[in-house]
Amino acid sequence: MVYEQFILNKFGFLGENFSTEIQKYTDVGIIKAKTEIIAEGQKIKFVPFLIKGSIKVYSLNDGRELIYYYIRPNDSCMMTFSSIFSDYKSRVYAIAEEDSEVLLIPVSVMHDWLIRYPEINRVFYSEYDKRFSDVMNMVNEAVFHRLDKRILSYIKQQIAITGHNPIKLTHREIANNLGTSREVVSRVLKKIENEGEIIQTKEGIKIPVNENVRHY
């Protein structure tokens, strides 16, 4: 039911013929949390659309992660899509942040659809716009925001994505995602906890209920 509703919401404007084809030529993958989906340099075989769950897209530099964006339900990975027009090799890493369900469209099928159903480009123009905004927000935070603001923003982002408050995040995980050290993260978390921005418990890191959690 979720699968059929997803296809209707995402591609229904293309008509019944397309809906029949998408059910014929695509597959649905179930991906466990913390499973790597693709790595930099791997050949791209599918264009993914996320039905449910959360996927992190990032690059690695000297063992440190640089997060580009998170794929949310009803979204796709535009860096994967753009690669199918060049060398078919991924320029990013992608990992499931939680148990996820993904619609997989074979690259050869997507090439055919782009010719036969040019209206499908509307979907990708929309996706490009969202991903460009995500990357711009990432750059602005990295350049203009202090580390304490970036860490607090990251925690709120994870709560908004998962719906869990408190959320299980290790200091090491935060450090890797923000390109800093675990020791620095621990000091900053203690500081913002003393300021009342967060509460650290055995269940995880919690944003007080009177805090407004930004939705991403």
pLDDT band at 214 (very low <50, low <70, confident <90, very high): very low
Q: Cα 176 from chain centroid?
A: 16
Domain identity same for 191 and 89: no
pLDDT at 21 over 60: yes
Q: Is the pLDDT of residue 141 over 80?
A: no
Range of the domain at 68: 2-117
pTM of the model: 0.68
DSSP string, 193-208: HHTTS-EEETTEEE--
Taking 50 as the threshold, does the pLDDT of residue 213 lie above it?
Answer: no
Same domain, 27 and 107: yes
Q: Is residue 123 part of a domain?
A: no
**Predicted pLDDT at 19:** 83
Mean pLDDT across the stretch 111-135? 84
Residues across the chain: 216
pLDDT > 80? residue 64:
no
Structural domain includes residue 39: yes
Give the C-alpha separation, 7 to 90, whole Å: 25
The mean pLDDT value for 152-178 works out to 87
> Last residue of some domain: 69, 86, 117?
117
Dihedral (CA of 179, 131, 39, 56) sign: positive
Q: Cα separation of 137 and 139, whole Å?
A: 5
Spatial neighbors of 126 by CB under 8 A, at least 6 apart, are: none
- For residue 32, the domain's CATH number is 2.60.120.10
Q: What percent of the chain has pLDDT over 90?
A: 23
Q: Residue 58 and residue 76: Cα distance in Å, rounded? A: 14
Residue-wise pLDDT tens digits, 22-50 = 888 999 999 999 899 999 999 988 989 99
Sign of the CA dihedral with 120 first, then 121, 122, and 126 last: positive
- Is residue 153 domain-shared with residue 199, that is, in the same domain? yes
Rounded distance, CA 149 to CA 154, Å?
Answer: 8
CA 188 remoteness from chain centre: 25
Are residue 103 and residue 200 in the same domain, yes or no? no
Asked if 113 and 167 sit in the same domain, the reply is: no
CATH number of the domain bearing residue 174? 1.10.10.10
Both tokens assigned to 43:
């050949």
Same domain for 78 and 25, yes or no, is yes
- Whether 33 and 70 share a structural domain: yes
Q: Which tokens is 99 given?
A: 């148990």
Which of 86, 117, 148 lies at the terminal end of a domain, its last residue?
A: 117
Residues 95 and 61 in one domain: yes
Q: Is the pLDDT of residue 83 over 70?
A: yes
What integer pLDDT is reported at residue 142 of this predicted model?
62
Q: Assess whether 22 and 85 both reside in one domain.
A: yes
Within-domain flag for 64: yes
- At 94 the pLDDT is 93
Number of domains in the chain: 2
Looking at residue 160, its pLDDT comes to 85
Span 172-211, pLDDT tens digits:
888 887 878 888 899 999 999 999 999 998 899 999 876 4
Sign of the CA dihedral with 154 first, then 81, 18, and 129 last: positive
Do residue 93 and residue 158 come from a single domain? no
CB distance 205 to 192 below 8 Å: no
On whether both 102 and 23 belong to a single domain, the answer is yes
Angle made by CA atoms 33, 100, 210, in degrees to the nearest 5:
80
